[in-house]
Amino acid sequence: MLKNLNSKKKSAKSLANSKSFFWSTSTSILFWYTLVFSFMFVVFVPAFRHLLYARVNSRVNKEIIEKMQVFRQLISDTNLLIDNLEQTEKNDAVNQLRKADKRLVKPPTNEEELKDFFDGFLGNQLPEDDTFLIALINNKFYKSSPRARPTELNRESKIILNWAKLTEPKLGEEIIPASNLDSIVYYAQPVKIKGKVKGVFVIAHQTSGERGEVLEAVGVIMQVGSGVLIAAIVIAWFGSAKILAPLSLLTQTAGNINELDLNQRITINWEGELAELAATFNDMMDRLQNAFISQRNFINDAGHELRTPITIIRGHLELMGDDPEEIKETIALVNDELERMNRFVNDLVLLAKAEQPDFLHLETIDIGVLTEELFTKALALGERNWRLERTGKGKIVADRQRLTQAVMNLAQNATQHTKNIDTIFLGSVINSDKCSFWVGDTGVGIAEADQKRIFQRFSRAANSRRSSEGAGLGLSIVQAIAEAHGGKITVASEVGKGSTFRIILPLEPPQGKEG
């Protein structure tokens, strides 16, 4: 039983490995690489063969045309081409033939002279391999050079009989029926005497030799190409595995990450797109780790903030006696703690809503009127030396209620860090495309080290001497409201001299937060 179980596990593992191999990215890259190269190879070989065939035909046609032009010039005693270097060479060839054989000096005027002309011309020609000069008189074969000819060009062959009947010059090609790879390229020139066709001169070339060389070259190309293709596939396999090694490392690193260990990162020692992917992955993990830490701290802090009033309430309720006065004091204390818990929960709900698209309800607001309203409301927060520094002139698009809440939070925060003899000042201004609201005081100030963290949730300054115990969410709420408007909040403070908080907003917030 145990052996069967182990055997099944090994089989399952082997099957998984085979699936992993066949569906891996390296195999996919190799497949497409092989497909592309094979397609190129399959297209290249026929195209290469066709091109060589075309060049063979072009060269053969050029040779037989040039030779035929010499014959036509002799048989007609005329200059067939314009005066150029090529024609000069043909004239020289014609003159040499006329000097070599008197039978070629004058065009023939009868059948006997035509035979003599053919004899003289063929006798002074040395055809190249697979080229045949054929003379036909009165629809019959007369003579050829060389005398030995292929079977397709025997005296009674169909091709010879067709040429004998021609009355006009013809340049063409005859495919040998026995093989599509062989053909005869020809140029046939009828010879007229006194207006009647007495004979036909044909220059024929059998292409089997050249085409055989073409096929041999193609065969070599296929052998070499096949070897190169196999070598390229092997190199591509190892190359793709090396290139995709960072992806395997990324997969391994991602698999090792869990909620208890978020410290895994990829060591980047390469360049390119995969390096950018690895760097992006590391940045993402940094953000996730910070988010997890922030969430854990938030839960811990929220639990602590809620645990304290619950403990107070439970303790007083457990110790509460029957004395009416004691009951009254306990109820008052419980109500106070419940109210504090309610404010805390409302603040948490507000921070959660700040991430939603309907957080803001925008309207056009006169900044000067709003500033005066804010100052009037702030006067009720405590006995301080309140001062309205400046009121901006102009209008902005914002959520009046949220903006009021943010400034009031700053004003309330200022009263908790100042004494009765201190000054708290408010103001607003519009500069270019920005507007600013500020709340400042001459209180205890904030240390530079604390200024970087006071906007975090549940954070308090180290030298805080507030007159009431809050949850440390006030400045976080202000920051959330400012950022929802597309703005920010800044602080300038010096210990012993006071602080100034400034909300900087665009005149119109970005789209997406409007309810």
pLDDT of residue 354: 64
Interacting residues of 175 by C-beta distance below 8 A, sequence separation 6+: 182, 183
Write out pLDDT tens, residues 179-203.
555 788 888 889 888 888 888 888 8
Let me know: does 485 contact 506? Beta carbons within 8 Å.
Answer: yes
3-class secondary structure, 512 = coil
| d(C-alpha 105, C-alpha 257), whole Å | 101
Using left for φ > 0, alpha for ψ between -120 and 50, and beta otherwise, residue 220 falls in alpha
Cα–Cα distance list, 354 to 96, 357, 396, 402, 471 (Å): 105, 8, 20, 10, 18
Contact 102, 124 (CB under 8 A): no
pLDDT for residue 216? 77
pLDDT value for 101: 63
The first and second tokens of residue 350, run together, are 């507000």
The CATH class given to the 273-352 domain equals mainly alpha
**The pLDDT value given to residue 48:** 75
Predicted local distance difference test score (pLDDT) of residue 165: 86
Domain 48-213 has CATH 3.30.310: no
| Predicted local confidence at residue 505, as pLDDT | 92
How far, in Å, are 19, 34, 39, 236, 361 from residue 31 at the CA level?
Answer: 15, 5, 12, 10, 57
Structure tokens at 377: 């409301």
pLDDT score, position 368: 92
For the purposes of burial, counting CB atoms within 10 Å of the CB of 405, is it exposed (0-12), middle (13-18) or buried (19 or more)?
A: middle
CATH homologous superfamily for the domain 357-506: Histidine kinase-like ATPase, C-terminal domain (3.30.565.10)
Residue 25: per-residue pLDDT: 66
E strand or H helix that includes residue 132: strand 131-137
pLDDT of residue 369: 92
Query: In this predicted model, what pLDDT tens digit does every residue of 419-428 receive, in sequence order?
Result: 999 999 999 9
Low-confidence ranges of the chain (pLDDT < 50): 1-3, 5, 8-10, 12-19, 21, 80-83, 85, 465-469
Domain residue ranges in the chain = 48-213, 273-352, 357-506
Structure tokens at 238: 């190892």
CA–CA separation, 512 and 155 (whole Å): 95
Q: Is the Cβ–Cβ distance between 388 and 372 less than 8 Å?
A: yes
Residue carrying the six token digits 């014959």: 71
Please choose, from the candidates 107, 111, 112, 152, the residue with its C-alpha nearest in 3D space to the C-alpha of residue 132: 152
Q: For residue 513, which amino acid is it?
A: K
Q: Are 222 and 42 in contact (CB under 8 A)?
A: no
